[in-house]
Amino acid sequence: MKIPWWVVSFAYVALVAASSSQDPHLSSARVVFQTNYGDIEFGFFPSVAPQTVDHIFKLVRLGCYNTNHFFRVDKGFVAQVADVVGGRSAPMNEEQRKEAKKTVVGEFSDVKHVRGILSMGRFEDPNSAQSSFSMLLGNAPHLDGQYAIFGKVTKGDDTLTKLEQLPTRKEGIFVMPTERITILSSYYYDTEMESCEEERSVLKRRLSASAVEIEKQVNLEFENEMLPMTCSTRNDMIRWRCIEADAEFTTCANMWTLRPHQSPE
């Protein structure tokens, strides 16, 4: 049976559209901005803009965005974080200032500017980006290929919606909030480590329960005089029973390994 050409063409267009709509790989690092209107969490696209990601993440680790603010909130367009050099209410130390004044090469890509995307601010020079960036509040195809996308919002879209509802004023091309939207503090974490810690906690509880049960069994056998009544024999029996339980637990790519007869960390 011959498939009509228009069916093949439609399927191809649909496939291309689906593949182009897929997000780039999101790394496991997460950053959280705690604002006076709620938290906003975001992650990075290191395969898309590696130098930009390194720079922004270093600024976060140095605490540069603490006491900074969103100087621009244009509903349906962008919520833009101010440059940290002039936007913070707290003074910067020398290390913070040195990193904040660095510029990043324009790492432009074919990733689309849609709601939740993080995109670097810059001047006319394509390689002039420093620390200011926008969180997209809607689709902005006219920005595609012109500004470096380096990540996306992973949690806190409700906070962005709150920011969009705030009163604003217009200054030149910018739509700005009438009150300060402060980034009170920021922190970062790794989602893979969080998962590992959760699994580790479960395994510790499982390990503890296994050891307790084995000890109960051995004690019962001693009480029923089924085994010689010596302390060393009892302890050895518990240890070997635990080994025989075949309960070696390894988690998070061999980051740690425990047997029931060993003490958890």
What pTM, to 2 d.p., does this model score? Answer: 0.68
pLDDT number for residue 214: 57
pLDDT number for residue 117: 97
- Low pLDDT (below 70) residues in the chain: 1-22, 194-265
Question: Considering the domain 9-179, what is its CATH architecture?
Answer: Beta Barrel (2.40)
DSSP line for the chain = -PPPHHHHHHHHHHHHHHHHTSPPPPPSEEEEEEETTEEEEEEE-TTT-HHHHHHHHHHHHTTTTTT-EEEEEETTTEEEEPPHHHH-SSPP-HHHHHHHT--B-----S----TTEEEE---SSTT-B-S-EEEESS--GGGTTTS-EEEEEEE-HHHHHHHHTS-EEEETTEEEESS-EEEEEEEEEEHHHHHHHHHHHHHHHHHHHHHHHHHHHHHHHHHTT-S---HHHHHHHHHHHHHHTT--EEETTTTEEE-TTSPP-
